[in-house]
Structure 1
Amino acid sequence: MNHSGAGSDNNVEGVEITKDRNGIGLVILRNHRGASARVSLHGGQVLSWKKERGQELLFISSKAIFNRLKPLRGGIAICFPQFGNNGSLEHHGFAKSKMWVIDQDPPPFPSDSNENAYIDLLFKPSEDDLKMWPHRFELRLRVSLVGDGYLTMISRIRNVNSKPFSFSFAYHTYFSVSDISEVRVEGLETLDYLDNLCNKERFTEQGDALTFESEVDRVYVDCSSGVAVLDHERKRTIVIRKEGLADVVVWNPWEKKSKSIVDLGDEEYKQMVCVDGAAIEKPITLKPGKEWTGHLELSVVPST
């Protein structure tokens, strides 16, 4: 098998399979222009996404804790089968804290051009997982670094149970920014949002862009268009496009909350913003044998 994903050769062009300092499997994707991404087998988490000149686009906390019990604070974490604390499971679900495997025989994904370096990962529940959440599933993830340096993620969840189940899902994405007070998020205007700081009360976005002056923790619902994160100081805009993910989560803990988060530096809220493609307000219900797909595409464009 010699597609750019999980071949037997550990150095297929554009794909290197190695280990991190804790001995956990790590996949490095590179394209011919020098862009790169790093994906951990712990949680299927994307830990780094760099443009061809080496600028890091994702944020990882300097206080991030490296162990097998919890995901690193930052990057892109896969939140499944719940987002938040809505159920009996750990915060944001358990998929992000488990070991995944390289999928040696993935079913066909939507077409991938030859320019892509990609990896296919697979997570199935263990017997312990089934005690927490008694539903059998297969969660497949393809992470691709496209020729122009875009990062795409496709998740496919199949119900291999004999009864339906429901779940919520998010690509919990920490973007690196120069200064949160100089950042604008566009594409949310006129949308309704659930405000987690006000008991999930529903409001309507009044501004033409979201700016940050205090803690923000919102789920914007029914967001069909692209969302853009404008970083004025770095003169760049990150564009988020998605399919199968109706909602967008926007989060920044600000000063007071940051001090209570063990694995986040007190001042690091200034250098990050979370903008997640998600399916939260209306959970996805899957009948036996059926599959759901959630697709995220991140791209960077220069801006003034």
Structure 2
Amino acid sequence: MTISFENRVAIVTGAGAGLGRSHALELARRGAKVLVNDFGGGVDGTGGSSEPAEKVAEEIREAGGEAISHGADVTNPEQVADMVRTAMDQWGRIDILINNAGILRDSSFMKMEMADFDKVMAVHLMGSVICTKAVWPIMREQGYGRLLMTTSSSGLYGNFGQSNYGAAKMALVGFMNTLHLEGEKYNIRVNSLGPAAATRMTEGLLPPPALEMMTPESVTPAAIFLVAEDAPSRVILNATAGAFSRTYIEETQGVAFAPGDQTAENIAANWDEISDPKTAVELPQGAAQVMKFAQMAGEARKS
């Protein structure tokens, strides 16, 4: 079955180039009306111009689609509110938000200025929060919403020199997990895309042969799947060079000790059992962990 976005309205942030541009173009090709957002700054977030977003919107219109542009800085609530009003005034609804805007300010943690840590957190994490907050009431009211966060292997697994970027990207997974629970009864589905592509943000980091395969267009199918009407929810889908995988956050069963045995030494002695990956499962929410431990603790006290 072909995935269509006819009569759907999408906002894509950071869509003036790279992944965001690819996402916006494909959404429009499949029938979506698209607000193309881009602050138009450099890779480090400095500067700003409305030209990149408007070029992509014009590209969509020339291909027969519907698109408008907006240069909101995603860290500015007033500008984001104006962006959302613009989409609502134009089309009367917002069905999809792809939080794609991002910057890089890489450095080892020892050398990193706190201003650079704060700025990366502000754009990736708070930018996604601010944009999501602006569309959340609309999606709840209309009983439909598809939200996509952009996470990264830097957050899921770590990359040298990216403590700021990694912290922000992993925080978005936690954000997704809770929004999934809060949006479920309103038909709001929330997912995370973990992409790698040859864009301004990866230029110079990888050899040319690898970059040639890592096109933004090879990632976009994952984004399309995650914001479709039949999309799953609370999924981390990774995409690079046309290869796709899913990341699970799982927890082992663990071991419970009676009060007199709750020592660091007993943890060390039982470390293999505590760590046994064969017992790992995905928990539906944080409360499930508490309930599991309470049951285990009760059983340990009886034995």
Interval of TM-score (by shorter of Structure 1 and Structure 2) = under 0.3
Name whichever structure is richer in helix by fraction. 2
TM-score relative to the length of structure 2: 0.26
Pair member with larger Rg: 2
